[in-house]
């Protein structure tokens, strides 16, 4: 079915503006009209400050200049996440962005590491990660483009002010022709036969008609939930946290190039350094902790003076049974929520928007296209869900009722398979559409104390002495390269500094 047609986006948080910025660029020349309706009175969630490396691809897709974007959002760089007290009290590990070492032919690097361990070498895997080495010494450099050197072995993402990101995208999207309407959606009109949404009716009487509607109304899920009555799959039996309290505090030095996630008595606390402040939040389970106690625990563990009043949020972990129903595609919190333990929400928005572009519907809205979109989004949510459960379910903590509850969680079969495979054989269960690849699973499996009993014996084809030499050379290059990088603060306050 031919374009052009009218796209209406309900909601202007990160989801609405990310969708608008990408669609207006990808659909240019088709004559498609894009209108976004948002209400300042309702506002946005406003948290969501940590990201993962694929956001670079999204920013390129929508034509963002990296320096301008980092400045505008008071951004910093992120090389991974440090997990504190997750496996055991006092234990910490790092989930780095990028590779560990270098594969020996078709045998994955970590199999060589396991072979070396079997021979008595107790060097931690982290010694082979440049992202980890740089993060541990507070250093960061943008890797040179297209490099084949050791610099190409790490990835990076950003921490930024989510409100400023949405504002930056709005400027970009409006500049390319997106029409923004300030107003409150009062009710929604549907075609009596097809059930398709035909128009949004605003409280001031304006009517916004369209062909394709994106529900980006956040937890309200006005179109996909209230109007289309799409059921929500509740995953709290796997991921029991259901509340958060957030507050920024004054920036402290040094500016760390990573997110920190510290397990607490009934949940965990995030720490996200920005140029102008540090973002903090405590995610917890209301069944095991009162709201006031959670807020007190957060305030007791800030690095600097709190800036403003703590903000309380409630959520239900899970996803819509169908992200796309009729002519409504839900994106962002309207389509589901997974706690920000691995900073995946903005990525799931990016992924939804790019999948929508790949599977862009004609006016006939062929159900096969919709089903394929829903299948891909469901798989993606489920794999992130499993990755998050891994952090909780593999804990050895038994010091609070919450952690005892987590240790007893009956894991999804897909996660049981991934853990069992790794524990028995040292092999990783990865699917093509996974957001997190081998190094990420490796970092968290090992970090949560899952130690392989077996390994790939093809690694034994390399003589032990030769392997030891190669491993030592890799460690040296990584340590030396990290040492040559500038301090993270010099990069963010230098060329990327918002006050420059």
Contacting positions for ligand FAD (CB under 6 A)? 11-16, 37-39, 42-45, 47-51, 162, 184-185, 216-218, 220, 222, 244, 246, 281, 313, 315, 332-334, 340, 343, 345-346
Mutual angle of helices 367-393 and 438-447, in 10-degree steps: 30
Question: Nearer to ligand FAD by C-beta: 108 or 218?
Answer: 218
Give me the catalytic one of 71, 78, 171, 355.
78
Given a contact cutoff of 8 angstroms between Cβ atoms, the answer to whether 22 and 62 are in contact is: yes
Cα dihedral 473, 479, 484, 488, rounded to 10, equals 150
Of 162, 168, 137, 170, nearest to 277 (Cα)?
162
Helix/strand/coil for 67: helix
Smallest distance from the beta carbon of 338 to ligand FAD, in angstroms? Answer: 9
Smallest distance from the beta carbon of 37 to ligand FAD, in angstroms? Answer: 5
Helix/strand/coil for 309: coil
Signed CA dihedral, 137, 96, 257, 447: sign only: negative
Smallest distance from the beta carbon of 52 to ligand FAD, in angstroms? Answer: 8
Gap between the terminal Cα atoms of the chain:
49
Task: Give dist(CA 261, CA 85) in Å, integer.
Answer: 9
Find the radius of gyration of the CA atoms of the chain. Answer: 23
Task: Give dist(CA 229, CA 221) in Å, integer.
Answer: 10
Smallest distance from the beta carbon of 177 to ligand FAD, in angstroms? Answer: 20
Smallest distance from the beta carbon of 281 to ligand FAD, in angstroms? Answer: 5
Q: How many other C-beta atoms are found inside a 10 Å radius of the C-beta of residue 347?
A: 20
Task: Give dist(CA 124, CA 82) in Å, integer.
Answer: 15
Of 33, 16, 37, nearest to 24 (Cα)?
33
Task: Give dist(CA 42, CA 231) in Å, integer.
Answer: 24
Question: Nearer to ligand FAD by C-beta: 150 or 167?
Answer: 167
Reply yes or no on whether 78 is catalytic. yes
Question: Nearer to ligand FAD by C-beta: 153 or 269?
Answer: 269
Question: Nearer to ligand FAD by C-beta: 102 or 186?
Answer: 186
Given a contact cutoff of 8 angstroms between Cβ atoms, the answer to whether 350 and 58 are in contact is: yes
Question: Nearer to ligand FAD by C-beta: 39 or 394?
Answer: 39
Question: Nearer to ligand FAD by C-beta: 132 or 282?
Answer: 282
Q: Give Cα separations from 243 to 140, 269, 456, 459 (angstroms).
A: 33, 12, 42, 46
Smallest distance from the beta carbon of 347 to ligand FAD, in angstroms? Answer: 6
Q: Which residues are catalytic?
A: 78
């Amino acid at each position: 079915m031919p374009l052009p047609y009218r796209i209406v986006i309900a909601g202007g948080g990160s989801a609405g503006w990310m969708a608008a910025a990408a669609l207006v660029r990808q659909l240019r020349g088709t004559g498609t009209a894009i209108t976004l309706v948002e209400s300042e009175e309702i506002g946005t969630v406003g948290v969501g400050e940590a990201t993962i490396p694929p956001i670079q691809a999204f920013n390129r897709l929508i034509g963002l200049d990296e320096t301008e974007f980092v400045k505008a959002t008071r951004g910093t760089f992120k090389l991974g996440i440090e997990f504190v007290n997750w496996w055991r009290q006092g234990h910490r590990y790092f989930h780095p962005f990028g590779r560990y070492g270098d594969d020996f032919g078709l045998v994955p690097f970590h199999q060589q590491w396991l072979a070396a361990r079997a021979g008595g070498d107790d060097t931690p895997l982290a010694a082979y990660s440049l992202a980890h080495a740089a993060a541990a010494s507070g250093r960061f450099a943008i890797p040179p483009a297209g490099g084949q050197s050791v610099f190409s072995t790490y990835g990076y993402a950003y921490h930024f002010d989510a409100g400023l990101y949405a504002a930056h995208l709005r400027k970009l999207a409006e500049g390319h022709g997106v029409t923004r309407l300030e107003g409150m959606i009062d009710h929604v009109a549907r075609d009596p036969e097809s059930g398709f949404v035909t128009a949004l009716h605003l409280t001031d009487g304006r009517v916004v008609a369209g062909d394709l509607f994106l529900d980006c109304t956040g937890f309200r899920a006005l179109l996909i939930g209230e109007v289309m009555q799409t059921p929500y799959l509740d995953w709290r039996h796997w991921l029991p946290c259901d509340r958060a309290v957030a507050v920024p505090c004054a920036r402290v030095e040094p500016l760390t190039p990573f997110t920190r996630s510290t397990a607490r008595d009934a949940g965990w606390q995030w720490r996200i350094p920005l140029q102008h402040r540090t973002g903090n939040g405590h995610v917890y389970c209301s069944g095991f902790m009162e709201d006031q106690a959670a807020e007190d625990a957060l305030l007791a563990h800030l690095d600097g003076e709190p800036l403003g009043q703590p903000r309380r949020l409630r959520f239900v972990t899970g996803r819509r049974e169908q992200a796309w129903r009729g002519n409504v595609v839900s994106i962002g919190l309207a389509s589901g929520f997974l706690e920000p333990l691995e900073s995946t929400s903005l990525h799931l928005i990016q992924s939804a928007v790019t999948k929508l572009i790949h599977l862009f519907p004609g006016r006939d809205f062929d159900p096969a296209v919709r089903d394929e979109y829903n299948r891909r989004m469901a798989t993606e949510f489920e794999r992130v869900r499993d990755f998050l459960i891994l952090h909780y379910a593999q804990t050895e903590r038994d010091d609070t009722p919450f952690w005892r509850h987590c240790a007893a969680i009956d894991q999804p079969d897909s996660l049981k398979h991934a853990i069992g495979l790794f524990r028995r054989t040292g092999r990783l269960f990865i699917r093509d559409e996974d957001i997190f690849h081998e190094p990420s699973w490796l970092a968290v499996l090992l970090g949560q104390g899952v130690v392989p009993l077996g390994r790939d014996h093809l690694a034994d084809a390399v003589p032990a002495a030769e392997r030891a030499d190669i491993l030592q050379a890799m460690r040296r290059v990584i340590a030396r390269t990290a040492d040559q990088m500038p301090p993270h603060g010099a990069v963010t306050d230098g060329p990327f500094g918002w006050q420059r």
